[in-house]
Structure 1
Amino acid sequence: MNASALPLSNNTPLCYSINSPPFNYHPTIASAYFSSIFSSLGLISNLIAFIVLLKSFRQTHSHSRSFFLIFLGGLVVTDFMGLLVTGSIVVSFHVTHFNWRTVDPNCHFCNFMGMSMVFYGLCPLLLSAAMSVERFIGINHPFARSASMPKSRAISMVLTVWLIAGCIALLPLTGIGSYHIQMPGSWCFFNISSKGNDLAFSLLFSLAGLMSLTVSFLLNTVSVVTLIKVCCGQDRNQRRRDYEVEMMVQLILIVVICSVCWCPLLIFIAQTVLSGASLQIKYLLLWLRFATWNQILDPWVYILFRRAVLKRIYPRFDWSRGSIMTSSFSNTLRRFTRTSLGTLGSDGAGEMEKSSVTAPSALKPPPPSP
């Protein structure tokens, strides 16, 4: 039977039916400092990224780039709010050591944090998949997306992703899964169990994240192959793909970061519920810390991996003309051609000058004979 379906003895609220605070755990002052620094670093990073994105959005004239910036903006806002909501609760616990049973006797606060953990956890994964779909259509089927498509379409896609993640986060309140206080008492999350509805929700959360990463990987692979063919093909001079390559690099880095940060936790959840093994708290906390790094590393992808920044790091590289992937080769070939033509031109000019000097003496008629 599912733990959430069992009758609760002594009117114990559902979120405290498995783990009931206070726990035999005394957080150190280092935990408070670590949580505070971690949350502050993530908030500052996402705030800087949002300012940079807003400035770029106002300056860009590319329709596809505007779409991509809207998706990035949605990702930055999601990461910022996720750190703000969950980080403030964790830091408050480490500072005040409050008792959840006293502060939240009816589990409303615990359910809110559990929903926040699920919502802000799934959003980056789903947004990465949505961005990969948008880039796949923009690169492989450019005529399928009209140039006159309003930017509100991208905004509606971001809102749709938020709606899907929100509906999944609300499922435990309908009986599919359940939110519980987790060790060491500073956070709430859904019950990772191989029984009843908890099994269904655990698999739903895990498979939704893994499928999003799989879709992103497959679509980005096809998009990269298409870009390579376009940039290195015969029509590379007609189809400039500077911004496409820049956006593709940023998207690939975002997907890689999501995969590295989230795959251990998603695989751990699926493996635990499918094997029927007992939950290992130490591994859950370890992989959860891995996952939270995603919200800090994501904004630095756009802050650092932009042409404006890369120009300063490598000013010799030709960032203004030609494709990024072929500009180095093109510069080398162009310089070699100019040198060769310059040498030939100087030699030809010299020969012409000599001929112009010697030609009159050669063509001069002989003096008349006496």
Structure 2
Amino acid sequence: MKRNQLLCNSFNHTGRRMWDPNTSNTMKERDTSNSTRAAEDCVSVSVAFPLIMMITGLVGNALAMLLVYKSYKKKENRRKQPFLLCIGSLALTDFTGQLLTSPIVISVYLSNRQWSKVDPSGNLCAFFGLSMTMFGLCPLFIANAMAIERTLAIRTPHWYASHMNTRATKIVLLCIWSGVLAFALMPIAGVGQYTLQWPGTWCFIGTGDQNAPGNIFFASTFASLGLVSLFVTFTCNLATIKALVSRCNAKSSASQSSKQWGRITLETMIQLMGIMCVLFACWSPLLVIMLKMISNHTSAEHCKTSTEQGSDLQKDCNVFLTAIRLASLNQILDPWVYLLLRQILLRKFCQVANAVSSCSHDGHKELPMILETEMNKAEG
């Protein structure tokens, strides 16, 4: 196993197994045969990662869209329609992003990581980079819209009820999609560039070429917009949690309403904390490493030569690759954090917890209905 791993690493860095010219022909043939098998093993192992991510992401987001559609059609959920529109749009955005990018990555892996075989003209690289930018920023901005919507619903319910509607939500979502698309098209218009990234299986924003017009501006703007989005989401979610806790404490501790609000507050706090943890864990490494590489005038497309130079660039490139995989993982986790986790796992957990605490059979049956009614009031 260790020998195959060494062969795999050598093949990835140089494209061929290094051998001593003074060795015998038999050893050369055996080494070449081992290199070929190791290369095939690398491809087979590597392609499993994007394939599993694509299937998991598509299934999760498709399930989320189905649940949102069913909830959206219910008359009793009219006050929740703006929130449901945001969740459905987030799932649709993540679904489309994975549908456009994952098959390309899988094709490159199946071609022994030779991008030129899949994209001899280079146009596919620009499309891939545009898709990565478009479907990277859109979920962040939609998360902002959802965080702001939730804050307004909890802190200013009267203003929210009179001003927030599905038409306004659709306008906001349309502005997000069109604005991010216009930004992602800037390299096509000559400002910035999309380049092939280490290890040659994906394309993204170049960070090191100072000669490309507007390249540093475009890359730093992307990273800055992402960090601002994280900050806005974090601030709004904290404000929502604070408002929920204050509203819960304001109620009489002896009343049934207070107990219901305690459950609602705990459930919502868990969800909001989960949202913040997932966003920061998935996106902050990529955005920070991008700013670092921009300040150092380095780029991941130079990683193929860094092993020969023995520099620290290869470490940054490996971190950058891990960071982009974490950001891609966010597309898989989004539907579970925003919708599936809350409606399936958390409510089942509340039911099981109340059953264990010797609640009456009738009260246990009525609990989900009570929680749903109170949650509608809290979000509407």
Kindly report structure 1 stretches of 4+ aligned residues shifted beyond 6 Å.
235-245, 322-325
Deviations 1:5-58 (A, max 9, x none): xxxxxxxxxxxxxxxxx9838552111122212211111111112212222222
Which shifted more, 53-62 or 127-136?
53-62
Task: Report the TM-score, using the length of structure 1 for normalisation.
Answer: 0.73
TM-score for both structures, normalised by structure 2? 0.71
- The equivalent of 1:274 in structure 2 is 295
Report 1:304-319 matches (<5 A).
Answer: 304-306=341-343, 308-316=347-355, 318-319=367-368
Q: Please provide the CA RMSD for this pair.
A: 3.2
Q: Is residue 248 of structure 2 the alignment partner of residue 234 of structure 1?
A: no
Contact 2:61–2:335 under 8 Å retained in 1: yes
More helix by share: 2
Corresponding residue SS for 2:186: helix
Q: 1:220 to 1:64 in 2, by over 3 A?
A: farther
Q: Could you list the per-position Cα deviations for residues 102-146 of structure 1 after superposition, in whole angstroms to 9, with x for gaps in the alignment?
A: 554443211111100001111111111111111122222222234
CA distance in structure 1 between the aligned counterparts of 2:268 and 2:61, rounded to whole angstroms: 18
User: Higher mean Cα deviation, 151-160 or 287-296?
Assistant: 151-160
Matched, 1:205 2:196: no
Kindly indicate whether the alpha-carbon contact (under 8 Å) linking 1:245 and 1:324 is maintained by their aligned counterparts in 2: no
Q: Which of 329, 334, 342 is the aligned partner of 1:298?
A: 334
CA distance in structure 2 between the aligned counterparts of 1:126 and 1:161, rounded to whole angstroms: 7
The one of 282, 287, 295 aligned to 2:323? 287
Which of the residues 210, 221, 233 maps onto 1:216? Answer: 233
Higher-Rg member (1/2)? 1
CA displacement at 1:230 relative to structure 2:
1.1
Equivalent residue letter for 2:328: T
2:198 to 183, 192, 200: 183
Letter aligned with residue 15 of structure 2: N
Q: Match for 1:304: what amino acid?
A: L
Whether the aligned pair in 2 keeps the contact of 1:128 and 1:251 (CA below 8 Å) is no
| Mapped partners of 2:347, 2:65: distance in 1 | 16
- Pick closer, same or farther for the CA change 1:75–1:150 going to 2, 3 Å: same
Distance 1:322 1:231 in 2: 14
Aligned equivalents of 1:218, 1:308: Cα separation in 2:
26
- The alpha carbon displacement at 1:256 in A equals 2.4
Per-residue deviation at 1:261? 0.4
Distance in 1 of aligned mates of 2:125 and 2:352: 47
Q: Map Cα deviations across residues 171-209 of structure 1 (whole Å, 9 max, x no partner).
A: 111222101122222211110127262211111110100
Unaligned runs of 5+ residues in structure 2 are 1-12, 17-38, 301-315, 358-366, 375-380
- In 2, the alpha carbon distance for the partners of 1:323 and 1:75 equals 22
The residue aligned with 1:30 is 45
Q: SS of 2:326's equivalent? A: helix
Aligned residues: 305
Q: Distance in 2 between matches of 1:95 and 1:322?
A: 49
What is the CA distance between 1:247 and its match in structure 2? Answer: 5.8
Listed one character per residue, the Cα deviations across residues 72-126 of structure 1 (whole Å, up to 9, x for unaligned) are 1011111111111110100111123485445544432111111000011111111
1:260 aligned to which of 281, 301, 310: 281
Residues 313, 96 of structure 1: alpha-carbon distance in 2 compared, 3 angstrom cutoff: farther
